[in-house]
Amino acid sequence: LARFRLEHPRCRLTIRVGGSVELLEMFDRSRLDIVLCLGQHGDRPNSSWRIVGHDKMVWIGDPSTLDQPEIPLVLLEPPCRFRDAALGTLAKARRDYRIVLETPHLPAMRAGVRSGLGASCRTRRFAAAEGLSTLPAGLLPEVPEIETILIQRNGLPDAAQDLAELLVQAASDQ
């Protein structure tokens, strides 16, 4: 954002932070011109859809919380790709689980994991940025990879095109 401001000092930005589904709905309603979100190849392919990064999903939490017959989970409410990945992976591996905290808010999910309520899954980058412990491999079934995707409207002004490219650089630098 600082670099964008230097290159386009008179531009005004409106930024929305939300779940991928919410942001994509806003894009479809022409309320956003550029969306940087998480997804998986083939979700909504079209000419404005570009994969700009890959990350591995990882399990996060305190390993001592897993010493129970049912794995305690801390999850965001649906729709959530990470929730779907966690539940699908555990079901496929026939591991019993119990959702101990479900919230629509990422800060509450983070607090639940930090306090030792249970495990969750996010990206490796998220875990590192938030200072959350990743669980050692093999304690829980492996979760899939996720892609960072940029979607932009065709025919955007030069400043918006520049912002999209700066987002691509930021996503690929991580």
CATH of the domain at 64: 3.40.190.10
Spatial distance between the Cα atoms of 52 and 169, rounded to a whole number of angstroms: 8
pLDDT along the chain (174 residues), means of 10: 92 90 91 89 65 91 90 95 96 96 95 96 91 92 92 92 92 70
Spatial distance between the Cα atoms of 99 and 115, rounded to a whole number of angstroms: 15
Domain count, the chain: 2
Spatial distance between the Cα atoms of 139 and 15, rounded to a whole number of angstroms: 38
What are the residues facing 76 on neighbouring strands?
103
What value does the CA radius of gyration of the chain take, rounded to a whole number of Å?
18
Q: What residue numbers bound the domain in which 29 lies?
A: 2-54+147-173
Spatial distance between the Cα atoms of 48 and 75, rounded to a whole number of angstroms: 31
Structural tokens at position 122: 């996010």
pLDDT at residue 51, as a whole number: 87
pLDDT at residue 173, as a whole number: 64
138 shares a domain with 121: yes
Residues listed for the chain: 174
49 shares a domain with 72: no
100 shares a domain with 76: yes
Spatial distance between the Cα atoms of 87 and 90, rounded to a whole number of angstroms: 5
